[in-house]
Amino acid sequence: MNAVSAASSKPSTPSATAAPKSAGLEGIIAGQTAVGAVTQGQLLYRGYEIHDLAQNATFEEVAHVLLVGHKPSAAELGAFKAEIVAERALPELVIDTLRKTARLPNTVPMDTLRSAVSLLAHLDPDCQDVSPAANLRKSKRLLAKIATIIGHMQNVIDGRDLVKPDPSLDHAANLLWMMTGKKPTSEQARVLDVSLILYAEHDFNASTFTARTIAGTLSDLHGAVTGAIAALKGPLHGGANEMAMEMLKEIMKDVGEAGIGTAKVDQWMDKAFAEKRKLMGFGHRVYKNGDHRAPILHKLGRGIAEKDTGNPGGHPALAWFRLGEQVQKIMLDKKQIHPNVDFPCGLTYFTMGIPVPQYTPIFVASRITGWAAHVMEQHANNRLIRPIAEYVGRPQTKW
Ligand code: SDX
């Protein structure tokens, strides 16, 4: 066979004008995965349905399912948890860097977290190894250390001594402990734990796809996670949990607590619609009839708010939920748009007294499991991710 016929026997790449195209890759199947399934009807992590997991599993069990690939036995879970606890401490270089960067004037916690994860790569003995065993070891280290980065960073921001990880506490409770220096109630710990379960995996969302694209060049896990953190930060993606709460604060400031349940909120929303404002925490690229995760978290967060005597942001926690519920109703009635998981997340974390700029880093503390599972899947059956573009620039022009 000569070179010409060898070349012509291969399937040809379609020309950019003939190929299927979709702005933002909407509706395009860009690959296969066995990690998670996101459909209008249900959300599955390796075959387990999200309501089932939120009701019956712990975050560590879900992390095992995602990273190792199956539901752990009691012995496997014990060993997995012990490994995570043993990996919680941060290298001195990372702690030093947190101290130097977390309070810089133009820095937000997602930036500090992104830099810290990138820095961890330099110190990881497996950094350049993309084998399945090395990837799993690195995934567990990152799972453990990201929570500590968030905790220590918040301590630095608050100007207090670093709160060391508590080996007797599970992932969620330990995260709250390290951030605040206060032992959470079992209800607070469980609500955060469920929020981490809900955030853990969501097939080819923007940050996971970023991680897979980086991994698809056979680059390393820390690099893929660093890129994924940058993608998650944006307000159209994970950053929406912070922005949703900032929007509710803005509405509360404008209408006042007495305005909740009145037409004042409708007027605020009508103005936002007229200005074509994106309402944060609403809408979804895949879910058009509602995000399966949102009602689960809303119910749990409201449960805390109903008992809460505190005054987050100067108003009772329940008042914030009542405002959020009115905003949801108006959005549904007037725009037929449902809240996504980030809307109840904002309300729930606010009720729990978590500083708003840490909401998206906490999303990372969970989604690291989904990202790592996808990176391992990509490395195990790799094909470079490289779509084609339709050229709409200047026609050929002589120089
Ligand atoms: C996450 O992909 C994932 O799986 C992500 C995630 C995960 O777990 O990984 O689920 C997590 O990122 C949740 C999404 C968080 N983002 C936000 O809450 C930001 C606000 N929402 C949007 O901007 C928007 O809904 C997106 C970005 C989430 C989805 O956007 P799409 O699919 O590109 O939809 P679109 O912008 O084309 O909207 C279609 C219509 C438009 O109206 P028309 O121009 O057709 O008249 O719906 C309107 C939009 O203007 N619309 C909104 C809106 N969301 C959609 N209008 C006002 N506020 C909104 N939030």
Token pair listed for 93 = 């270089």
Supply the residue whose CA is at minimum distance from atom 50 of ligand 1. 278
Topology annotation, domain 36-236+360-380: Citrate Synthase; domain 1 (1.10.580)
| CA 175 / ligand 1 centre spacing (Å) | 30
Q: What is the pLDDT of residues 335-356, one digit of tens each?
A: 999 999 999 999 999 999 999 9
Q: Which of the residues are catalytic?
A: 237, 284, 342
Query: Does residue 281 line the site of ligand 1, with CB under 6 A?
Result: yes
Among 35, 233, 268, 285, the mutation site with the greatest number of ligand 1 atoms within 8 A of its Cβ is 285
Among 62, 208, 236, the mutation site with the greatest number of ligand 1 atoms within 8 A of its Cβ is 236
Q: How far apart are the first and last CA of the chain?
A: 40
Judge whether 150 and 179 are in contact, CB under 8 Å.
yes
Supply the residue whose CA is at minimum distance from atom 15 of ligand 1. 237
Q: Compute CA distances 286 → 207, 276, 292, 351, whole Å.
A: 15, 21, 11, 28
| CA 287 / ligand 1 centre spacing (Å) | 10
DSSP E strands, the chain: 36-38, 43-45, 48-49
Contacts 24+ apart (CB under 8 A), 221-224: 221/130, 221/135, 221/138, 221/139, 221/142, 221/372, 221/375, 222/117, 222/118, 222/120, 222/121, 222/124, 222/127, 222/138, 222/142, 223/118, 223/121, 224/371, 224/375
Q: What is the pLDDT of residues 106-155, one digit of tens each?
A: 999 999 999 999 999 999 999 999 999 999 999 999 999 999 999 999 99
Query: Does residue 202 line the site of ligand 1, with CB under 6 A?
Result: yes
Query: Does residue 379 line the site of ligand 1, with CB under 6 A?
Result: no
Query: Does residue 278 line the site of ligand 1, with CB under 6 A?
Result: yes
Instruction: Give me the residue spans of the domains in the chain.
Output: 36-236+360-380, 240-351
Burial class (CB in 10 A: 0-12, 13-18, 19+), 399: exposed
Q: How confident is the model at residue 19 (pLDDT cuts 50, 70, 90)?
A: confident
Which architecture, in CATH terms, is 240-351? Orthogonal Bundle (1.10)
CB-based contacts of 182: which residues, under 8 Å, 6+ apart? 176
Token pair listed for 242 = 């912070």
DSSP string, 322-364: HHHHHHHHHHHHHH---B-THHHHHHHHHHTT--GGGHHHHHH
Judge whether 317 and 290 are in contact, CB under 8 Å.
no
Position 16 scores a pLDDT of 61
Instruction: Please state, rounded to an integer, the average pLDDT across all residues of the chain.
Output: 95
Single-letter residue type at 136 = L
Token pair listed for 203 = 């097939």
Q: What is the pLDDT of residues 36-68, one digit of tens each?
A: 999 999 999 999 999 999 999 999 999 999 999
Query: Does residue 205 line the site of ligand 1, with CB under 6 A?
Result: yes
Position 11 scores a pLDDT of 53
Judge whether 393 and 220 are in contact, CB under 8 Å.
no
Supply the residue whose CA is at minimum distance from atom 26 of ligand 1. 284
Supply the residue whose CA is at minimum distance from atom 2 of ligand 1. 205
Q: What letter would DSSP give residue 218?
A: T
Q: How far apart are CA 286 and CA 28, in angstroms?
A: 11
Q: How far apart are CA 243 and CA 372, in angstroms?
A: 26
| Placement of tokens 């796809």 in the chain | 209
Supply the residue whose CA is at minimum distance from atom 4 of ligand 1. 205
pTM for this entry? 0.95
Closest CA to 89 of 157, 146, 156, 134: 146
Q: How confident is the model at residue 5 (pLDDT cuts 50, 70, 90)?
A: very low
Query: Does residue 282 line the site of ligand 1, with CB under 6 A?
Result: yes
Q: How far apart are CA 348 and CA 301, in angstroms?
A: 4
